[in-house]
Structure formats: C-alpha cells, structure tokens
Structure 1
Amino acid sequence: MTETLKIEGMGCGGCITTVTKALSAVPGISDVDVSLEKHEARFALNAPATREQAVKAVEDAGYDVKG
C-alpha cells in the first residue's frame, strides 16, 4: 500500500536525506520518495510497519507531520 505524509519543516537537500533515512529504517517501509517542493514523503507500507510508526520516525527526526 502506498502512503503519503505531509511534512513541515523541510528546507534543504539534507532534510530529504534525513527523512528518507528515518522512514527507510522502519521495517516494512520501502520505496521512499521525499519531495521538498511538495513537502511530502511517499512510500510503500507493508507489514509489520504501520502508518503510526512512519509518523513517529519522521517526528523523531525533527519534522512535523500534518497528514
């Protein structure tokens, strides 16, 4: 299943790397694509990962998730 998170606080290429690494570290999340322009991250979400784990990973990396 493909998920999208709206993320606030990203402002540079380093932010893309940080969010990509944070999401990719969650078992079950793959194909992470972070857009600075759209302020969002799209990714494949498979068991055992949950949307809540994805949100927590992004927030733990220092960004706000708005949907």
Structure 2
Amino acid sequence: MSKPLPFTEASLARAIKAVKRAGLHVIGVRPDGTVITSDHPIEVTSLIPQDGHNESVPSKWEDQRG
C-alpha cells in the first residue's frame, strides 16, 4: 500500500497558478509537493542528446535473445 500524498491536486493547482502569476515558470514538482521554479522556461530541445545517441537502448534486464 502506498503512502498518501502530502498535498491535494487542488492545492498543487493553486500553487502553480500562484507561481505563474508571480511571473515564474514551473519546471517540476518534488514528491513532497514543493514546486520547483525558474525565472525562464526550459528549452525542451536541450534535454535531447546532440550526439545521435537518443535511440532507445534496451535495458540489461530485457531479454537480449533476438
């Protein structure tokens, strides 16, 4: 059985709206409900490796027989 979250969906939505009204950007939420902010948006393309190694790599746990 999992532990209940320390925040509700409604309280998180209110926190995110407050962050946006303050002129900041939400970049994540921690498991304890802490909203992680930035003063500028993250460029999503910067998260993709530029060396061409963005293909799916099988896990060592996956069956390698082929």
Q: Which has the higher strand share?
A: 1
- For the aligned pair, the TM-score class normalised by the smaller chain equals 0.3 to 0.5
TM-score normalised by length of structure 2: 0.41
Q: Which has the higher helix share?
A: 1
Higher relative contact order (CA 8 A, sep 6+): 1
Larger radius of gyration: 2
TM-score normalised by length of structure 1: 0.40
